[in-house]
Amino acid sequence: MSDNNSTPVTATDFIRNIIREDLASGKHQQIVTRFPPEPNGHLHIGHAKSIHLNFGVAKEFSGKCFMRFDDTNPVKEDEQYVEGILKDVRWLGYDWGKSQTHASDYFEQLYEFAEELIQKGKAYVESLNAEEIREFRGSLTEAGKNSPYRERSVEENLALFRKMREGEYEDGSLVLRAKIDMSSPNINLRDPVLYRIRKVSHQRTADKWCIYPLYDFTHGLSDSLEGVTHSLCTLEFEDHRPLYNWILAEVSAPCLPRQIEFSRLNLRYSVLSKRRLIQLVEEGHVEGWDDPRMLTLSGLRRRGYPASAVRLFCERIGISKSANNIEMNVLEDCAREELDKTAPRAMAVLKPLKVVITNYPENQTEEFEPARHPKNPEMGTRKVPFSREIYIDQDDFREDPPPKYFRLSPGKEVRLRYAYVIRCDEVIYENDKVVELRCTYDKATRSGAKAEGRKVKGIIHWVSTQHAVTTEIRLYDRLFSAPNPGRNDPEGNFINDLNPESVEIISDCKAEPELSTANPEDVFQFERVGYFCVDAKDSRPDALVFNRTVTLRDTWAKLEQEHSGQN
RNA sequence: UGGGGCGUAGCCAAGUGGUAAGGCAUCGGGUUUUGAUCCCGUGAUUCGCAGGUUCGAUCCCUGCCGCCCCAGCCA
């Protein structure tokens, strides 16, 4: 968050409870956390949960949070992701100060720890190949077997390991393994691999190394080196905790952080695994990582979600260890809540229907000056021109109105927001299609004037045709049409569950002139319709493009749907 | 059928041996020149199931059921 006020500690979850106890008992004077992404993809809303937890907790308890890149696998990682990740975390509102680190910063120390393990007879160089290692590992129900190389002498192991570092062996020919217990019921303890040979250049250390440590060896030691007190990660690492603790106990690690696991985020009608996100991008189902339908941070941003809405979302879903499947409307509602407070209002007609006000003078124009925000006068006012010809939305007219339809229909009246009450006198057709409405206005009903006895229930938005700005609007909806994409496919193929209507582009929308000066990422509430932001990539001053962030709540649509559902 | 977890309202989620917070959704009602916002009200005789301990159990014990994770030289 950009403000410097300390956030009150209001959230209560099992992790914060542990931290409070550790602080109260004096176990820790200051808490230290870390957010450790691997630079091999972009951040999504699931990462936001972790960022919000790690940075949030550090801030709440006046601690510190490291921004650490877990870059131990150069074949998968790329420096280009680092920049994107940093940008996303910053956008979300977090600041790591000078505490940006890389696991690769510790390669030399990690190597020393590995030698220490060897010296203690707690690690050995393995000559079995990958397939043999797998076979020797046993299965979920069968114990593994000791490798024939398990009892190599310390001297031999040391010599071999040093030569591994020197580059004397080929990729995959040798690995360093921890010597723990091949019959452990926890497979992670069956002599896990600690180092492998990869003669590839690392994005940061270049060709300095040809052996790289694996996650289990690296993570706890990096935590320890940074003085992390609480190492927060997701549930799938629970089984790794004994190994995490084993490594820290066996070497002279500076401190012993406590790993605590929480459940990862699942959101209905979406996929969040990195693998699936990559597939969506690579197979072209979306435009890219920042496609507004993607729940990546860059996608949400481009969609128009303010960072505060994402933070609010993280706040609402909480932290626990139980499996969860959050309803999409929770996310959407967070956007509404934040945007309602901050978005200036404007009128825009998505699907224009021409209306001629027959009793309004031909060449007359007048201006209304409504507030930009109904509850926030500091946001000022805007000028909205009115004239004889206007556009209204096709949705706001029905030839044959259903019950409780408050909008325009033949012979009926509505109020034009901020302007006059009009009555529909005539409907003009062209090939059986309604193309124009002829209406008359009542001058006495001018906005602000007293017009007693005129109770017009319906209020619709409009735009003066001669003053309108033509824009493109992209109506986005959820990317998937199934609550759990891939769930009902035998192969788990989630592509079939893509929502074919996740985007509708309409190119001739009409907006009030005020919008002509809008800048990329500006968000507006198009009154009665929804929240829209200026697309950061495709919009140009003379050819505006808006993305729909989220619709307004629409009780009428709900009502109508219920009625039609009954028929 | 090895190991590790989880199971409190539609969706999240606190909680404790003493009689079930809160949020979102829902459904009512009020305000409103956005069918928006806002405001008020609304749901668990019950905490996966079955036993047991106890004056008393969601919380302790036993058994059962369901779901998730683990056999990368990925993280």
HEC assignment per residue over A362-373:
CCCEEEECCECC
Q: Which nt sits closest to A17, CA to C1'?
A: B14
pLDDT tens figures, A228-240: 999 999 999 999 9
For this structure, is A375 an active site residue? Answer: no
Give me the pLDDT at residue A35, please. 98
Q: Of residues A20, A122, A264, A446, which has the active-site annotation?
A: A264
Residues lying close to strand B (Cβ under 7 A), chosen from 183-222 of chain A, are: 185-188, 192-193, 196-197, 212, 214-216, 218-219
Task: Tell if A139 CB is < 7 Å from nucleic strand B.
Answer: yes
pLDDT tens figures, A156-195: 999 999 999 999 999 999 999 999 999 999 999 999 999 9
For this structure, is A274 an active site residue? Answer: yes
Residues lying close to strand B (Cβ under 7 A), chosen from 420-479 of chain A, are: 445-449, 458-459
Residue nearest to nucleotide B67 (CA to C1'): A323
Task: Tell if A149 CB is < 7 Å from nucleic strand B.
Answer: no
Q: Where does A263-345+472-567 sit in CATH, by number?
A: 2.40.240.10
Q: Which nt sits closest to A71, CA to C1'?
A: B75
Is A107-216 CATH 3.40.1380.10?
Answer: no
Å from the A322 CA to the B46 C1': 20
Nucleotides of chain B within 7 Å of a protein C-beta?
Answer: 1-8, 10-15, 21-27, 33-38, 67-75
Å from the A341 CA to the B38 C1': 12
Å from the A553 CA to the B26 C1': 14
Task: Tell if A320 CB is < 7 Å from nucleic strand B.
Answer: yes
- Per DSSP (E only), the strands in A70-112 are 100-102
Measured distance CA(A110)–CA(A105) in Å, rounded: 9
Residues lying close to strand B (Cβ under 7 A), chosen from 396-425 of chain A, are: 404-407, 415, 417-419
For this structure, is A38 an active site residue? Answer: yes
User: Looking at this protein, which amino acid is placed at residue A190?
Assistant: R
> Could you tell me if A535 and A548 are in contact, meaning their C-beta atoms sit under 8 angstroms apart?
no
The values of phi and psi at residue A298, to 5°, are -70, -35
pTM above 0.90, yes or no: yes
Torsion of CA A7, A3, A49, A273, to 10 degrees: 180
Q: Which nt sits closest to A16, CA to C1'?
A: B14
Give me the pLDDT at residue A11, please. 67
Domain spans, chain A: 107-216, 263-345+472-567, 348-461
Residues lying close to strand B (Cβ under 7 A), chosen from 85-124 of chain A, are: none
Mention the CATH class of domain A348-461: mainly beta
Q: Hey, what are A66's tokens?
A: 């490291």
Q: Of residues A274, A321, A351, A354, which has the active-site annotation?
A: A274
Give me the pLDDT at residue A12, please. 85
Residue nearest to nucleotide B1 (CA to C1'): A141
Q: Which nt sits closest to A132, CA to C1'?
A: B73
Residues lying close to strand B (Cβ under 7 A), chosen from 299-318 of chain A, are: 316-318
Å from the A307 CA to the B41 C1': 33
Residue nearest to nucleotide B37 (CA to C1'): A340
Å from the A22 CA to the B8 C1': 27
The domains spanning A263-345+472-567 and A348-461 adopt the same CATH topology: yes
- pLDDT means per 10 residues in chain A (567 residues)? 38 92 96 97 98 97 98 96 98 97 98 98 98 97 97 98 98 98 97 98 98 98 98 98 98 98 97 94 96 98 98 97 97 98 98 98 96 97 98 97 95 96 97 97 86 78 98 97 90 92 97 97 98 98 97 94 64
Own/partner pairs for A437-443, CB < 8 Å, 24+ apart? Answer: A437/A353, A437/A354, A437/A355, A437/A356, A437/A392, A437/A397, A437/A408, A438/A355, A438/A356, A438/A358, A439/A355, A439/A356, A439/A357, A439/A358, A439/A408, A440/A357, A440/A358, A440/A359, A441/A357, A441/A359, A441/A360, A441/A416
Q: What's the length of chain A?
A: 567
> Could you tell me if A471 and A542 are in contact, meaning their C-beta atoms sit under 8 angstroms apart?
no
Å from the A333 CA to the B25 C1': 10
Task: Tell if A556 CB is < 7 Å from nucleic strand B.
Answer: yes
Residues 6+ apart with CB under 8 A from A273: none
Segment (H or E) for A117: helix A107-119
Q: How many other CB atoms sit within 10 Å of the CB of residue A256?
A: 15
Q: Which nt sits closest to A36, CA to C1'?
A: B75
> Could you tell me if A178 and A147 are in contact, meaning their C-beta atoms sit under 8 angstroms apart?
no
